[in-house]
Amino acid sequence: MKEHGGPKPRSEWPRWPVLLAVCLAAAAFGGQVKAPVAAGETLTLDKCIAVALERQPALASAREAVSSERALVRQAEAGYYPQIFASTSASKSSRGSATSFGITTPPVTFNYYSVGVSLSQNVFDFGKTASQVRIQKLGVEASMTDLRSSEDTVVYNVKQAYYGVLAAKRSRDVAAEAVNQYKLHLDQAKGFYEVGTAPKYDVTKAEVDLGNARISLIKAENGVRLALAALNNAMGIIGTLDYGVEDNLAVRTSEISFDDALARAYDNRPDLKSVEARARAGESSVGLAKKGYLPALNGSAGYNYTGNAFPLARGWNLGLSLSLPVFNGFLTAAQVTEAKASLGILRANAEAVRQTVFLDVQTAFLDVAQAADLIPVAELNVTAAQENFEIANGMYAEGLGDTIQVADAAAALSNAKLAHIQALYDYQIARAGLEKAMGAR
């Protein structure tokens, strides 16, 4: 007889729902911890900037500041709306015996209940609420430009780190090329020494030069790792160093005059816009302070149930009140003076930032011009150093030169190539600095 009922043995439970749940959980977990930069990935500058703007912790506080300023706007706008309050209370009171005109009354204990709703509405305050709202909205504008300024700084830092990686990798390639050159020269010196056409000094000198080149290569390889770590930090990530970056150190010429660059900076610089917005808020603050001399008209209404026994008696009230400041100990006058002084500070700060913008643009413009002029000179140096190395190496191969000439020529060639890389890097950083000075990206 076959029995029914009772739980199935564990081996007979359907397994596919469990497996599906595990797979979904693993997929969800994997999506949460996916690194923004994968090993072996090749990053463009735009990708690095996008990652930084999304993940850089330095931008979190600026975004929260914007949220805080927006909340202050909503707080100020609350003055436009009615204020409604509900209240309820219950109390028990006791009054002891009392004697009056020879008559003694016994002690009395009684209850009291109250339930009601009250409403108050600002009817007219001569623009005080509107001024406060305008001030807070200007605060939002200033905080948003502060956020933009922080983003511009993050973008500039990413560009510096990005081009730093490119310069480090090219410098490593130069160091690796120097190692190969010194290896070939060592093989030549050994061959000449074995047939008796070169002294032992040539061999030992070539070995020392090769050793120094290997030391330089080790340092250059570590320089690449350090540059990648700096780029990770600029992007706001902690992760692998095993990724590539697109090499775009090529010179990009741009025709922009100093006057055009300065005009763009005055129009776009977020730090200048921020102080200008705060100055406008300061002007509104002076007007708001002066409104302290003006009256305010408020309306009120209420509906309630009160009494010491149920059912409670119903009641209502409706009214208008006009308040006029007659004398408040010169408080309003002092507030107006303070607002004017604060406005003066804000205007001075705006002028200081404007002068800083001019200096930033001028400095960056001159740096770009200098960097652009240095690149062709550095290229000519590389060409000349390459030719000089080939001459020295050829003369040594024919037995007409010495090992010192070859070593000097090789060192000069490496230095010329490194100087060319530095010139390209300086040009890109100068361009990034000019873009930041103009408030562009």
- Orientation of helix 270-290 relative to helix 258-268, angle to 10°: 40
pLDDT value of position 34: 62
Measuring CA to CA, which residue among 310, 357, 352 is closest to residue 113? Answer: 310
**Would the pLDDT of 203 be above 50?**
yes
pLDDT value of position 234: 96
**Would the pLDDT of 24 be above 50?**
no
pLDDT band of 5, cuts 50, 70, 90? very low
pLDDT band of 137, cuts 50, 70, 90? very high
pLDDT band of 14, cuts 50, 70, 90? very low
Q: Mean pLDDT, to the nearest integer, of 118-139? A: 93
pLDDT value of position 402: 82
Helix (H/G/I), strand (E/B), else coil: 102: coil
Q: Mean pLDDT, to the nearest integer, of 206-220? A: 95
Q: CA-CA distance, 171 to 221, in Å (whole number)?
A: 9
Is 2.30.42.10 the CATH number for 41-81+125-296+328-438? no
Is pTM beyond 0.85 here?
Answer: no
Q: CA-CA distance, 311 to 317, in Å (whole number)?
A: 20
**Would the pLDDT of 46 be above 90?**
yes
pLDDT band of 32, cuts 50, 70, 90? very low
Listed ranges 25-29, 310-314, 399-403; the one with the highest mean pLDDT: 310-314
Phi, psi of 290 (to 5 degrees): -65, -25
Lowest-confidence segment of 1-15, 320-334, 380-394 by average pLDDT: 1-15
By the 8 A CB rule, do 178 and 213 touch?
yes
Q: Mean pLDDT, to the nearest integer, of 122-137? A: 93
The better pLDDT of the pair 402, 59 is held by 59
By the 8 A CB rule, do 412 and 387 touch?
no
By the 8 A CB rule, do 85 and 117 touch?
yes
pLDDT value of position 21: 45
What share of the chain in percent tops pLDDT 70? Answer: 92
Lowest-confidence segment of 20-24, 197-201, 272-276 by average pLDDT: 20-24
